[in-house]
Amino acid sequence: MKEILSPLHVGQMNLPSNEAFRAAFEGIFARRHYANHGPLEQHLDKALAEHFQVRHAISVVNGTVALILLLKALDIQGEVITPAFTFSATAQSLLWAGLKPVFCDVNVESQMLTAAGVTKAITPATVAILGVHIWGRACDPIALEELAAERGLKLIFDAAHATSCTFAGRRIGGFGDAEIFSFHATKVLNGAEGGCITTNNDALAARLRVMRSFHDGTGDPSGLLRMNAKMSEAQAAMTLLGLDAIDGFIAENRARYERYRKNLAHIPGIRFLHHEGYGENNYQYVVSQIDAQAFGLTCDALSNALQARNVLVRRYFSPGLHKSPPFSEERWNLPVTDDLCRSLLQFPSGQVINLEDVDAVCSLVRSLQAGTL
Ligand code: T4K
């Protein structure tokens, strides 16, 4: 078995070609316009709206700020129903916006909120639903739209994982009142930090454009709360370069994902999540579920054994937000979330992991399962 000599990471960044990068940055240096709504930022907002098939995309510095800004722009107060099976930014943003997260358990198969589950969690204090498109799979958007309309609730989605993903033939980005994306280094679209809010609501988009900056040039008289959330030209350049290259990144991601799935298809107790029935995926996350009894090792033990051999698998989103401060001060009963946190393992992927690396990781997993190491 081939020894893995250097660490293999989850989520190592996707990069454009050096030539494209140099040309974009030479342009910024030549213009000496680095911030405050330069030409690249303006171009990016149009390109993102086109990509996500929405009327408006408002680029901002990162996905967390996108969420906080959106929540403030919605001007709501009270409880927001959201999953605990997500990255901490989802629920922390609610706290930053002065809202109370109410965790709702997720569906065992989709690993996301469902309209049926959310219905049970609604109280008189509920003002909104914040769904998360985990692993780029769509979070029951049509049923949640119906429920939100029926109950008079705002509906927004954390689509940090879902750039270029679709549902029912539509790009994720246009569901609910608005959606947010992340262009962090670990995402399929890497803007050297970045994010955006997408919406088809003209009035909400206009508020967001004022609120994201002190420099929108409109002399807005509304007195809306404002912050410096706008992208720099460097971030806009990186995001535009990533958008140009994204189809290639997704094709490479898919090849790695399918290689993992094929290599380990007959190993008992490990299965890779599929995306059939959820629309097109970007394959940025190679997520496996471990059945400890059938595999012969717990997910924890497998994770430790792989990490010790340079395969830096990750346990997203263990132990779940409900068991992490500050949310753990309250008691939550979320058995499906607990089970997912115990059993899911993400494997190395991204541009720097080649198919031979995938083969080496899979052969290690086979040996660990067979107990021959
Ligand atoms: N909502 C959801 C559902 C999210 O998943 C996230 C972010 C957000 C909202 C908020 O969006 P942003 O505000 O971040 O735009 C990472 C990312 O930092 C975070 O963006 C991401 N989710 C989360 C799922 O993953 P960590 O704590 O795992 O990061 P870290 O530093 O351990 O990096 C993970 C791996 O990525 C490393 O093993 C190596 C690789 N990496 C990382 C960085 C930063 C690179 O290769 N290059 C890099 O520059 O959170």
| Residue 47 near residue 243 (C-beta atoms within 8 A) | yes
Residue 55: predicted pLDDT: 98
Residue 218: predicted pLDDT: 66
The residues assigned a catalytic role are 187
Residues 190 and 175 in one domain: yes
13 lines ligand 1 (CB under 6 A): yes
Residues 151-172 have a mean pLDDT of: 97
Residues 78 and 162 in one domain: yes
β-bridge mates for residue 318, sequence order: none
CA geometry: angle 317, 52, 195, nearest 5 deg: 50
Q: Is the per-residue pLDDT at 134 higher than 80?
A: yes
Nearest partner of 68 among 98, 96, 100, 91, judged by Cα: 96
Residues 134 and 203 in one domain: yes
Helices (H), ranges, the chain: 18-31, 39-52, 63-74, 88-96, 115-121, 141-151, 202-211, 233-263, 292-295, 299-308, 335-343, 355-370
Residue 223: predicted pLDDT: 87
Cis peptide before 326 (omega within 30 of 0): yes
Residue 13: predicted pLDDT: 85
In a domain, 8, yes or no: no
**Banded pLDDT at 320 (limits 50, 70, 90):** very high
352 lines ligand 1 (CB under 6 A): no
Kindly report the average pLDDT of the chain as a whole number.
Answer: 96
In a domain, 258, yes or no: yes
| Residue 89 near residue 63 (C-beta atoms within 8 A) | yes
β-bridge mates for residue 170, sequence order: 167
Nearest alpha carbon, ligand 1 atom 31: 186
Locate 178 and state its tokens.
């608005």
Residue 3: predicted pLDDT: 83
Residues 147-158 have a mean pLDDT of: 98
Residue among 87, 139, 179 whose CB has most ligand 1 atoms within 8 A, to mutate:
87
Q: Ligand 1 centre from 188 Cα, in Å?
A: 11
Nearest alpha carbon, ligand 1 atom 5: 87
pLDDT digits (tens, 9 = 90+) for 352-362: 999 999 999 99
Helix (H, G, I), strand (E, B) or coil at 145: helix
Name every residue whose Cβ is closer than 8 Å to that of residue 150 and which is 6 or more positions away in sequence.
none
Q: Is the per-residue pLDDT at 188 higher than 90?
A: yes
In a domain, 12, yes or no: no
Neighbours of 337 (CB within 10 A): 27
- Maximum CA extent, the chain: 71
In a domain, 6, yes or no: no
Residues 204 and 97 in one domain: yes
Q: What is the CA radius of gyration of the chain?
A: 21
Q: Is the per-residue pLDDT at 151 higher than 70?
A: yes
Residues 68-83 have a mean pLDDT of: 98
pLDDT digits (tens, 9 = 90+) for 229-263: 999 999 999 999 999 999 999 999 999 999 999 99
Nearest partner of 181 among 282, 305, 289, 257, judged by Cα: 282
ipTM here: 0.97
312 lines ligand 1 (CB under 6 A): yes
| Ligand 1 atom at shortest distance from the alpha carbon of 86 | 3
Residues 256 and 188 in one domain: no
- Residue-range definition of the domain harbouring residue 266: 245-370
Of 195, 210, 242, at which residue does a domain stop? 242
In a domain, 170, yes or no: yes
Phi-psi region of 9 (alpha: psi -120 to 50; beta: other; left: phi over 0): beta
133 lines ligand 1 (CB under 6 A): no
Residues 217 and 253 in one domain: no
Phi-psi region of 140 (alpha: psi -120 to 50; beta: other; left: phi over 0): left
Phi-psi region of 269 (alpha: psi -120 to 50; beta: other; left: phi over 0): left
In a domain, 7, yes or no: no
Distances (CA, A) of 19 to 22, 38, 44: 5, 22, 20
CATH number at residue 310: 3.90.1150.10
Whether pTM exceeds 0.90: yes
Under DSSP, the state recorded for 321 is G
Q: Is the per-residue pLDDT at 327 higher than 70?
A: yes
State percent of the chain over pLDDT 90: 93
pLDDT digits (tens, 9 = 90+) for 269-317: 999 999 988 889 999 999 999 999 999 999 999 999 999 999 999 999 9
Of 191, 215, 242, at which residue does a domain stop? 242
Q: Compute the distance between CA of residue 288 and CA of residue 178 in angstroms, rounded to an integer.
A: 30
State percent of the chain over pLDDT 70: 99
Q: Ligand 1 centre from 186 Cα, in Å?
A: 5
| Residue 41 near residue 73 (C-beta atoms within 8 A) | no
Residues 183 and 276 in one domain: no
| Residue 256 near residue 223 (C-beta atoms within 8 A) | no
Residues 100 and 190 in one domain: yes
Count: domains in the chain: 2
Helix (H, G, I), strand (E, B) or coil at 97: coil
| Residue 256 near residue 329 (C-beta atoms within 8 A) | no
Locate 330 and state its tokens.
């309250």
163 lines ligand 1 (CB under 6 A): no
Q: Is the per-residue pLDDT at 2 higher than 90?
A: no
Name every residue whose Cβ is closer than 8 Å to that of residue 128 and which is 6 or more positions away in sequence.
74, 76, 78, 80, 81, 99, 153, 154, 155, 156
